[in-house]
Amino acid sequence: MSVTGKRILLGVTGSISAYKSALLVRLLVKAGAEVQVVMTEAAQAFITPLTLATLSKRPVLSTFVSSESGRAGNGSWNNHVELGLWADVIVIAPASAHTLARCATGLCNDLLSAVYLSARCPVFFAPAMDVDMYHHPTTAENLRKLKSFGNHIIQAEHGELASGLIGEGRLAEPDTIMQLLDKFFRLGYGNTEPSILAGKRVLITAGPTQEPIDPVRYISNHSTGKMGYAIANAFVKVGATVSLVSGPTSLPLPDPGIQCTQVRSAQEMFVATQAVFKEADIIVLSAAVADYTPAHPADQKIKKKESVFSLELTKTTDIAATLGNQKQPGQWMMGFALETNNEYENAVKKLQAKNLDWIVLNSLRDEGAGFGHDTNKITVIDKDGQTHKFALKSKEDVAQDLVNLIINKLKS
């Protein structure tokens, strides 16, 4: 693995999931990394320093001064500056709500937070806490701030928590963290100058819309929202401030640092995008918005009577065209086109008609692309006529490709 020979400082904080840090240390050492563990005082209530010292083959550090023979004043200084400079990467896993708050606000009266403030290397935070703590506005703001500083957040996972609740907040599995570190060192993942997008305001739409016929029926499409959610997560990883307007999906809530507005109909999506559009620097319209909606939705459930039933439809507001007309200098817009025939020609027409800067073309004739899949195959056409073709890959990797395209444009 690409972590071989890398110096990794692992911060372990006060969370029940600290027991997973033992497996993470073992995996890192087995892969050939040098591992130095720094624990907070609270972490030692969940796992002993002796366990992690044995696995890492290094003494575990937790205080500024290591005592000798139990006598204060006769110990050695654990130099937080040298530790911060020693590491190729710092991984804080688990990162408790308390530690996130300390690092986000610059408090450093323990060794781990002092090392963080002294570090010049990339830093990864892997949050772990109960679901309500994870989605609390304070935690979301702290995560947003840490991302805006250029740090990387390893999103907590969904599942059963120590409280017995089901939701997001579980520490990412050690194998997942290993894969992210391997990708980081092997491909430069996350090394796309996050300062370029740090603090940029990004508006993203995702998912389908549902147009009501009566209180129990609606018109919709097969969009799952997976692509839009992946794009939102990719932007937030490079420090952007993300507003996500999402139609109905079965997906778990996105990264808590994302401001998510849930809507149902095309009109609700239009109103929600209008509310934040003027403040957005980058707009990515990946939602599959209905083109038509019932003109007169019924107040009561429509009973089955006639053998033929007609439904009068009226056009919805064209969100992309409306925002394209309102676009100001300094704003960048990316739209999506899912086509079944004459794909390229139809996508170019949409790009020009709606005053977009990029159009992302999907073809339902490409196996593994389009709605419902975990993969996608795209062609991106920009307003200057340049075409960027990408192979079939995961939607997470597609999202990173799109972010990189935007970064390269802002750099030029």
DSSP 373-401: -SEE--EEEETTS-EEE--SEEHHHHHHH
Q: Which residue numbers are catalytic?
A: 221
- pLDDT tens, 35-57? 999 999 999 999 999 999 999 99
Segments in 149-281 forming alpha helices (H): 174-187, 226-237, 266-277
* Position with higher pLDDT, 250 vs 372: 250
CA distance linking residue 15 with residue 46, whole number of Å: 7
Per-residue model confidence (pLDDT) at position 371: 83
Tell me what percent of the chain is helix, strand and coil, each rounded to the nearest 5: 35, 25, 40
Report the Cα–Cα distance between both ends of the chain, in Å, rounded: 34
| DSSP 8-state secondary structure symbol assigned to residue 303 | P
Confidence category of residue 1, pLDDT binned at 50, 70, 90: low
Tokens 């194998």 map to which residue?
175
Mean pLDDT of the chain: 90
Confidence category of residue 195, pLDDT binned at 50, 70, 90: low
Q: According to the annotation, is 46 in a ligand binding site?
A: no
**Residue 3 token pair:** 């972590």
Q: Is this structure's pTM higher than 0.75?
A: no
Burial class (CB in 10 A: 0-12, 13-18, 19+), 229: buried
Helix (H, G, I), strand (E, B) or coil at 171: coil
DSSP labels for 67-127?
A: EETTEEEEEEE--HHHHHHH-SEEEEEEE-HHHHHHHHHT--SSHHHHHHHH--S-EEEEE
Beta bridge partners of 386: none
Residue 70: count other Cβ atoms within 10 Å of its Cβ.
7
- pLDDT tens, 88-129? 999 999 999 999 999 999 998 899 999 999 998 999 999 999
- pLDDT tens, 270-307? 999 999 999 999 999 999 999 999 999 999 999 988 88
**Residue 373 token pair:** 């899949």
**Residue 239 token pair:** 């420090």
> Residue 385 pLDDT more than 90?
no
> Residue 155 pLDDT more than 80?
yes
Q: According to the annotation, is 175 in a ligand binding site?
A: no
CATH architecture, domain defined by 7-69+76-191: 3-Layer(aba) Sandwich (3.40)
Pairing of strands 157-160, 152-153: unpaired
Q: According to the annotation, is 304 in a ligand binding site?
A: no
Residue 310: count other Cβ atoms within 10 Å of its Cβ.
6
Q: According to the annotation, is 185 in a ligand binding site?
A: no
CA contacts within 13 A on the Cβ side of 168: 18
Question: What's the rounded mean pLDDT across residues 148-156?
Answer: 88
Q: According to the annotation, is 124 in a ligand binding site?
A: no
**Residue 85 token pair:** 């400079």
CA distance linking residue 242 with residue 44, whole number of Å: 36
> Residue 194 pLDDT more than 60?
no
* Domain map (residue ranges) of the chain: 7-69+76-191, 195-295+311-411
Contact 204, 286 (CB under 8 A): yes
CATH architecture, domain defined by 195-295+311-411: 3-Layer(aba) Sandwich (3.40)
Contact 153, 139 (CB under 8 A): no
Domains 7-69+76-191 and 195-295+311-411 equal at CATH topology level: yes
Sheet with 7-12, edge to edge strand ranges:
34-39, 7-12, 89-95, 123-127, 152-153
